Amino acid sequence: MPFSGNRCYVENKKLNRMTKAYNKQIEKMRLKKDREALFDDQRTPFARKISRNMDQILIVASILQPEFSYGVVDRFLVLASYEKIIPILCITKIDLLSDETAVKCWVELYTSLGINVHSISALAKIGMDKLTGELTGKRTALAGHSGVGKSTILNTICPSLKIETGQVNLITGKGRHITRSVRLYRLDDDTDVFDLPGIRLIDFPDLNPTEVAAHFPDFRPYDGLCRFNDCSHLSEPGCVIKDAAESGELKRDRYNSYLRIIEELKL
Ligand SMILES: Nc1nc2c(ncn2[C@@H]2O[C@H](COP(=O)(O)OP(=O)(O)O)[C@@H](O)[C@H]2O)c(=O)[nH]1
Ligand SMILES: [Mg+2]
Ligand SMILES: [Zn+2]
């Protein structure tokens, strides 16, 4: 008896047709099982289910429409580090910029933090082969603000998917919320992508505010240098991280992301 996910081959025309139908059935069962793995247990935090079921998380951020959001990117990077999921950062819509300096700055910043970064345009088909290579043979969670171009990336990699894509409201720069539930897309036999819904679903299950700094690799050079051993890098005197953010030695946007995550965890 074949199990879910197994493939069967039989050398007989009539049987072959049946086998094809059977394979389809097995495939359906496997998809169902995969989806259930993410949703059956209400007590397991969503982020933990992702880390248990995925090989990696692809964090998508557009450079414009909507504008690059350190908040979203850094939040997912902390989540990935905390849950020990491999993150890949995908900076997209680079066709919208004539000046590449900004993109270069983000690529350099995140590469220096040890993150695998791709700058692409799904519409202009720039950098798509390399990105596709990252996903092939893996199970990837897809994260990022609505409207950044996640569905367009999947459609470009696999046109037969024909996923509905949203229009960006140019006044607010925010995307319309087209994706409402987690969708599993099978790009090929062993390549799955889970398109996650609104980022509010991605909670930090049991992360303590005092642990957040440990997930900011750019804070490492300052370890042990603050006046107080248990410095939370918020408003204590003699905090070298706060000073470094003020002088620009540490990227201010990254420090702001840190403050926002702490604030959120304290709510
Ligand atoms: N200029 C440009 N627009 C893009 C690109 N990728 C997506 N878009 C547009 O951005 C909007 C939102 O895309 P969508 O894939 O639905 O975003 P999602 O909400 O993250 O799935 C759509 O109007 C897309 O046509 C790109 O590489 N360049
Ligand atoms: Mg979408
Ligand atoms: Zn400090």
User: For 201-213, how does the pLDDT look when each residue is reduced to its tens digit (9 = 90+)?
Assistant: 456 667 888 999 9
Whether residues 154 and 179 share a domain: the answer is yes
Which single residue is written with the structure tokens 């086998």? 19
pLDDT at 242 over 60: yes
Whether residues 53 and 135 share a domain: the answer is yes
In the reported structure, the alpha carbon of residue 110 is separated from the centroid of ligand 2 by a whole-number distance in angstroms of 24
What's this model's pTM, rounded to 2 decimal places?
A: 0.83
Which single residue is written with the structure tokens 């319309």? 176
Pocket mutation for ligand 1, best pick of 73, 90, 165 (most atoms within 8 Å of C-beta): 165
Separation of alpha carbons 128 and 105, rounded Å = 20
| Helix (H/G/I), strand (E/B), else coil: 9 | coil
Which single residue is written with the structure tokens 């139908």? 21
Whether residues 172 and 219 share a domain: the answer is no
Separation of alpha carbons 249 and 155, rounded Å = 40
Q: Name the more confident of 266 and 197.
A: 266
**Beta carbon of 151 within 6 Å of any ligand 1 atom:** yes
Whether residues 159 and 197 share a domain: the answer is yes
Report residue 115's pLDDT band, with 50, 70 and 90 as the boundaries: very high
**Beta carbon of 217 within 6 Å of any ligand 1 atom:** no
Collect all residues with Cβ–Cβ distance below 8 Å to 244 and sequence separation of at least 6.
222, 250, 255
Whether residues 196 and 87 share a domain: the answer is yes
pLDDT at 55 over 80: yes
**Beta carbon of 140 within 6 Å of any ligand 1 atom:** no
**Beta carbon of 127 within 6 Å of any ligand 1 atom:** no
* Helix, strand, coil distribution of the chain in percent, nearest 5: 45, 15, 40
Average the pLDDT over 15-40 and give the result: 70
Domain count, the chain: 3
Which single residue is written with the structure tokens 């949703």? 39
Residue bearing the CA closest to ligand 1, atom 17: 149
pLDDT at 7 over 70: no
Separation of alpha carbons 9 and 33, rounded Å = 23
Whether residues 103 and 144 share a domain: the answer is yes
Whether residues 86 and 193 share a domain: the answer is yes
Q: Which ligand has the nearest atom to the CA of 226?
A: 3
Report residue 88's pLDDT band, with 50, 70 and 90 as the boundaries: very high
What is the CA 13 to chain-centroid distance, rounded?
44
pLDDT at 198 over 90: no
